[in-house]
Structure 1
Amino acid sequence: MKLIRFGAEGQEKPGVIINDTWYDVSHLVNDYNEAFFADDAINQLQKDIEKGGLSEVAKTTRLGAAMARPSKLVCVGLNYIDHAKETDAEIPTEPILFFKATSAIVGPNDNVIIPKNSKKTDWEVELALVIGKKASYVSEEDALNHVAGYVLHNDYSEREFQIERNGQWVKGKSCDTFAPLGPFIATPDEIEDVHNLRLWLTVNGNKVQDGNTANLIFNIPFLVSYISQFMTLLPGDVITTGTPAGVGLGMKPEPWYLNEGDVVELGIDGLGSSKQHVKAYTKQ
């Protein structure tokens, strides 16, 4: 099943995609949030959908983030060898974890805003997963039973804030609009092999990232198990699993970054694609 949220910002309703057609299911569920995933409502929703009687949603409708704001968005850094090498970082022996503020979450095709005083806004196509069942001290063998689905994520990063301003990476990761999620959450049955998915990203039509999840240093079961040793993962929480080579920071001979007017497109096999137009910060 493919889960979407559609409508104006702050007024999104839950929906599904069936055979490439969008449908409203807001009469069946309130939202794709912690309560929904905790209650294993996906199975009930599937049964209700099979009864028919759904209203179509026009594809011109805005898509919001594919899930309501989660309790946390946990990020894994340097999880592809080629990306670690391009940034002159050591290959990690354990996952590098950091947080991204959930206030950064936006719809998949919303504009990305270059933050005030930013000089180094960068892109990162990533596979993210959504937790479907509370996870605390879970084993690798049981980890996938705690995954509700997978979603496309662009882990935008302000490299000066992240690297040159001291402290944790969270400062360079959490600016408004820096976490477009979607277009949809794909339940695990939609994905044949989560460890063999092509992921790509273009800037102004030029392909800069072209990788495969087969090259993850730490795979999905390991990450869910590992993170659950340090914190309880709640239903609806998001784990984003790292990016392959091709980010602006790693460009040779010199890094280059996003400017107003640029267009970023990205996608992952089985998880659709998204597009963000780059806008400069303006005082609200």
Structure 2
Amino acid sequence: MKLARYGSKGAEKPGLVDDQGTLRDLSGHVDDIAGETLSDAGLDRLRRIDPSTLPAVDGAPRYGPCVGGVRKIACIGLNYSDHAAESNMPEPSEPIIFMKAVSALSGPYDDVEKPRGSEKMDWEVELAIVIGSRAKYVAEADAMNHVAGFAVMNDVSERSFQQDRQGQWTKGKSHDTFGPLGPWLVTRDEVGDPHELSMWLDVNGERKQTGATRTLIFTVPHLISYASQFMTLEPGDIIPTGTPPGVGQGMRPQQFLNAGDVMELGVEKLGSQRQRVIAA
């Protein structure tokens, strides 16, 4: 299934995208794409609904973040072997975890703000894991049972805030709009092997990132198991899994985003996004 949330910011409704690409209203069945709806039982109940019986959504509504009720975004850094090589950094011996503020979440087609004082605003296409059931001290062999599905995320970053302003990476990752998520939550049964997905990102029509999840250093089950040793993962929590090569910081000369630039990005089977950069 492809699940979505649509409508004005803060008032999104739950939706389902059928096999013909029509967005249909799910609000008669669930309040949101969140919480118990993301569990195996909740998703199975949605699968039993005939999509043709759901009202089609008229017009071209805004798509919001495809998951509601998100309590935390636990990001993984430097998790692609080719991105580590691009960054001239050794592959980490354990996953690098950093937090991104939940307030950074935005819709996949919303404008992205360039923060005041920003000098090095960068792009990162990522495969995001969406947790479906509570996970604490999970074995790697059982980790996928806690996954509701996957989505595209642009882990927008401000490198000067991230690296030059002391402290952790969080301050360079958490500005409002720095977490476009969606357009859909695609359930794990429809995605299949998450380690065989191509991904890409363009800036102003020029290809910057081309990659594939097969170059992940740490696999999806490993990341879930590992993170669950340090924090309890709750339904709706997001784990962006890292980015392939082609970020602006890795280019020579380096390239960064400015107001007016347009990012377009996507992950195989998960859809695509488009954002325009505006001044905060």
Report TM bin, short chain.
over 0.9
Separation in 2 of the partners of 1:187 and 1:30?
18
Separation in 2 of the partners of 1:26 and 1:78?
39
- The Cα shift of 1:88 comes to 2.3
Q: TM-score, normalised by structure 2?
A: 0.97
Residue deviations 1:150-197, cap 9 Å, x none? 000000000000000010000000000000000000001111321110
2:258 corresponds in structure 1 to: 259
Q: Say if 2:42 is the partner of 1:41.
A: yes
- Equivalent position amino acid for 1:98 in 2: F
- The Cα shift of 1:279 comes to 0.5
- The Cα shift of 1:148 comes to 0.3
Separation in 1 of the partners of 2:148 and 2:206?
33
2:135 corresponds in structure 1 to: 135
Distance 1:127 1:39, change over 3 A: closer
- Equivalent position amino acid for 2:33 in 1: Y
- Equivalent position amino acid for 1:117 in 2: G
Separation in 2 of the partners of 1:217 and 1:51?
38
Q: Residue 77 of structure 1 contacts residue 97 of structure 1 at CA under 8 Å; is this kept in 2?
A: yes
- The Cα shift of 1:219 comes to 0.4
Q: Residue 14 of structure 2 contacts residue 33 of structure 2 at CA under 8 Å; is this kept in 1?
A: yes
Q: Residue 4 of structure 2 contacts residue 15 of structure 2 at CA under 8 Å; is this kept in 1?
A: yes
- Equivalent position amino acid for 2:86 in 1: E
Q: Say if 2:24 is the partner of 1:23.
A: yes
Secondary structure of 2:4's aligned partner: strand
1:271 corresponds in structure 2 to: 270
Separation in 2 of the partners of 1:232 and 1:7?
30
Residue deviations 1:90-144, cap 9 Å, x none? 2101000000000000000000000111111100000001101110111111000
Query: Percent identity between the aligned chains?
Result: 52
Q: Say if 2:218 is the partner of 1:221.
A: no
- Equivalent position amino acid for 1:43 in 2: D
For residues 50-61 of structure 1, what are the structure 2 equivalents within 5 Å? Answer: 50=50, 52-58=52-58, 60-61=60-61
Q: Residue 196 of structure 1 contacts residue 214 of structure 1 at CA under 8 Å; is this kept in 2?
A: yes
Equivalent residue pairs, number: 279
- The Cα shift of 1:39 comes to 7.7
Q: Residue 3 of structure 2 contacts residue 184 of structure 2 at CA under 8 Å; is this kept in 1?
A: yes
Q: Residue 40 of structure 1 contacts residue 132 of structure 1 at CA under 8 Å; is this kept in 2?
A: no
Q: Which blocks of at least 5 consecutive residues in structure 1 are unaligned?
A: none
Q: Residue 39 of structure 2 contacts residue 148 of structure 2 at CA under 8 Å; is this kept in 1?
A: no
For residues 153-172 of structure 1, what are the structure 2 equivalents within 5 Å? Answer: 153-172=153-172
Residue deviations 1:213-249, cap 9 Å, x none? 0000000010001111111100111101000000000
Secondary structure of 2:171's aligned partner: helix
Residue deviations 1:53-92, cap 9 Å, x none? 2100135111000011411000000000111122222210
Secondary structure of 2:53's aligned partner: coil
Q: Residue 69 of structure 1 contacts residue 105 of structure 1 at CA under 8 Å; is this kept in 2?
A: no
Q: Residue 40 of structure 2 contacts residue 148 of structure 2 at CA under 8 Å; is this kept in 1?
A: no
2:242 corresponds in structure 1 to: 242
- Equivalent position amino acid for 1:105 in 2: L
Separation in 2 of the partners of 1:110 and 1:79?
27
Deviates more, 1:242-251 or 1:59-68: 59-68
2:77 corresponds in structure 1 to: 77
Q: TM-score, normalised by structure 1?
A: 0.96
Give me the CA root mean square deviation.
1.2
2:106 corresponds in structure 1 to: 106
2:33 corresponds in structure 1 to: 32
- Equivalent position amino acid for 2:169 in 1: W
Q: Which blocks of at least 5 consecutive residues in structure 2 are unaligned?
A: none
Secondary structure of 2:129's aligned partner: strand
